[in-house]
Amino acid sequence: MGHGPTQPFIKRMFTTTNHKDLGALYLIFALIMFLVGGFFALVIRAELFAPGLQLVDPNFFNQMTTLHGLIMVFGAVMPAFVGLANYMVPLMVGAPDMALPRLNNWSFWILPFAFGILIFAAIKSFLGMGDAPNFGWTFYAPLSTKFGPESTDFFIFSVHMMGVSSIMGAVNVIVTIFNMRAPGMTLMKMPLFVWTWLITAFLLIAVMPVLAGVVTMMLTDRHFGTSFFDAAGGGDPVLFQHIFWFFGHPEVYIMILPSFGIVSAIIPAFARKPLFGYASMVYATASIAFLSFLVWAHHMFTVGLPLAGNLFYMYMTMLIAVPTGVKVFNWVATMWKGSMTFETPMLFAIAFVILFTIGGFSGLMLAIAPVDQQYHDTYFVVAHFHYVLVSGAVFSIMAAVYYWLPKWVGRMYNEKLAKIHFWFSLISVNVLFFPMHFIGLAGMPRRYADYAVQFADWNQLASIGGFAFGLSQLIFVWVIIDCCVLKKGEKATDQVWEGAEGLEWTLPSPAPYHSFTTPPVVK
């Protein structure tokens, strides 16, 4: 024990191979991207505050929706989870570091360049020097191949780099979990966060190469005379949708499975009861991951699949509600008759359970193929996936940050401010996204800069909620700066939370730079 870092963080961050340094870098990067992507979202909501075109032209609006989606998915949510895995997985399984520390450094440092390229395209567009990608984050062909702006090639290169980074990160997590567990830490003793990340990592190495494949085909279609997605040369644009969603559906579970792990750590700690149904949680996670490969065409109910295809994908999609329902049941059962207290991580975790379930229910509505004919590409879909991704994935990340921050920095955060952050976020996120259900059911299509006047009131309300939610996140940033940089807050104990269990809480707070150099024994 005892060897700390020899250089300050700013100096060592480029060459560091320490899992705690890299975990912190990932999380800081994700926070910056969250704010950038959020800024783009506010441009969207400002334009949609009133019908008609006020602030931006439709082409620029489309660039904002595209970049908002790409940056939030690949730049904020995924790196935040990888950061949490980097920091927490070695601590939770009793390993001294990740299995492949040098690879770890590399997979992080690819990211700023990948997103630098995308943001460069956005800046170019701001300055009027050519459009940024404007075809939506799903980049359907032929919109992105034949009609894509020149910066589409930046986009392709950027996606390749993100893919390489994610794959290396996933390989690292798997090798760490399989080969670096402390003696006695059998697979079925691992904390659920480790389990969900193990399964997520397998999803990543299975589908990120498919994403790389689809953008490679776009590249050759654009420049090297192939016709994968070009009907004129014998290809088919619908093929693009099949391959994209074969990646895309597992991808959305990549963004939610680690959340399940986080919530399964936090709820038992603050309910002061062990997690209800641990084994069923593991099996439910594995079944969700397996089913995610069999449902991709539910994103394509309107392309003209045969009846048998629509029915198959509809039933498979509904089947996913079963393991997900098991999870929600287990979380509620864990809280049942527990001695609950409501510190900020617990508040976010409970909000996650409720709001994620609302998003799950709207997902079930969308899964019904005949009604999806009406819901497809409306704001109802936007409401659905923002409920599962913002009040789902993002809320769980915030819960995780509040839960483990005292362990990372050795000081408690400002609980009062954090609670204000929670309540502001909770109310504004619902004001922002709930009205979208109504305007979606009423028929407002997504991805347009303008809309019919009948949708004006709900859009106005959503925009107010959007700005309130955006500004509330500045409180989050302040709480983190207050705790990490200004070093305010009282010293945290090793245990931090009364009911917290797991190897990470046996270490001192802050967790030493090198931990578990001799492996702990797990009984």
User: For binding to another protein (CB under 8 A), which residues are involved?
Assistant: 99-100, 167, 171, 174-175, 178-180, 205-210, 212-214, 216-217, 225, 228, 231-236, 238-239, 242-243, 246-247, 304-306
How far CA 374 is from CA of 34, 262, 427, 443, in Å, comes to 32, 35, 29, 8
CB of 216 to another protein, least distance (A): 6
Set 144, 158, 264, 317: catalytic member: 264
**Is 336 one of the catalytic residues?**
no
Quick check: 79 and 30 in contact, CB under 8 A? yes
**Is 158 one of the catalytic residues?**
no
Nearer to another protein by C-beta: 247 or 505? 247
- Across the strands, what pairs with 411? 491
Set 20, 327, 386, 421: catalytic member: 327
Nearer to another protein by C-beta: 146 or 487? 146
Nearer to another protein by C-beta: 247 or 433? 247
Quick check: 95 and 176 in contact, CB under 8 A? yes
Q: Which residues of 411-436 are buried (b: 16+ CB within 10 A; e: fewer)?
A: bbbbeebbeebbebbbebbbbbbbbb
Nearer to another protein by C-beta: 167 or 281? 167
Nearer to another protein by C-beta: 79 or 163? 163
Q: What's the CA angle centered on 269, arms 268 and 271, to 5 degrees?
A: 60
**Is 446 one of the catalytic residues?**
yes
Can you tell me the distance from the alpha carbon of 217 to that of 188, in angstroms, rounded to the nearest whole number?
Answer: 41
**Is 249 one of the catalytic residues?**
yes
Set 65, 144, 151, 165: catalytic member: 165
Measured in residues, the chain has a length of 523
**Is 324 one of the catalytic residues?**
yes
**Is 259 one of the catalytic residues?**
no
CB of 214 to another protein, least distance (A): 6
Can you tell me the distance from the alpha carbon of 247 to that of 242, in angstroms, rounded to the nearest whole number?
Answer: 9
Q: What share of the chain is helix, strand, coil (3-state, %, to 5)?
A: 70, 0, 30
Set 47, 97, 221, 230: catalytic member: 97
CB of 440 to another protein, least distance (A): 28
Q: What's the CA angle centered on 121, arms 118 and 122, to 5 degrees?
A: 90
Nearer to another protein by C-beta: 217 or 496? 217
Residue found under tokens 């299509």: 445
- List the structure tokens of 250: 């597992």
Nearer to another protein by C-beta: 146 or 416? 146
Set 26, 253, 379, 387: catalytic member: 253
**Is 437 one of the catalytic residues?**
no
Q: For residue 8, report the phi and psi dihedrals to the nearest 5 degrees.
A: -65, 160
**Is 514 one of the catalytic residues?**
no
Set 137, 140, 278, 478: catalytic member: 137
**Is 488 one of the catalytic residues?**
no
CB of 85 to another protein, least distance (A): 16
Q: Which of 128, 30, 109, 27 is nearest to 76 (CA)?
A: 30
**Is 236 one of the catalytic residues?**
no
Q: Which of 205, 278, 214 is nearest to 242 (CA)?
A: 214
Set 131, 230, 251, 372: catalytic member: 251
Set 45, 68, 181, 421: catalytic member: 68
Set 65, 125, 158, 166: catalytic member: 166
CB of 332 to another protein, least distance (A): 36
**Is 428 one of the catalytic residues?**
no
Residue found under tokens 């989870």: 81
CB of 131 to another protein, least distance (A): 18
Residue 378 in 3-state DSSP? Answer: strand
Can you tell me the distance from the alpha carbon of 77 to that of 473, in angstroms, rounded to the nearest whole number?
Answer: 15
How far CA 342 is from CA of 46, 269, 429, in Å, comes to 35, 11, 20
CB of 215 to another protein, least distance (A): 10
Can you tell me the distance from the alpha carbon of 173 to that of 82, in angstroms, rounded to the nearest whole number?
Answer: 9
Q: Which of 120, 213, 204, 228 is nearest to 160 (CA)?
A: 213
CB of 368 to another protein, least distance (A): 22
Torsion of CA 300, 306, 307, 308, to 10 degrees: -100
**Is 482 one of the catalytic residues?**
no
Nearer to another protein by C-beta: 21 or 230? 230
Nearer to another protein by C-beta: 213 or 510? 213
CB of 81 to another protein, least distance (A): 19
Q: Which residues are marked as active site?
A: 68, 97, 137, 165-166, 249, 251, 253, 264, 298-299, 324, 327, 446
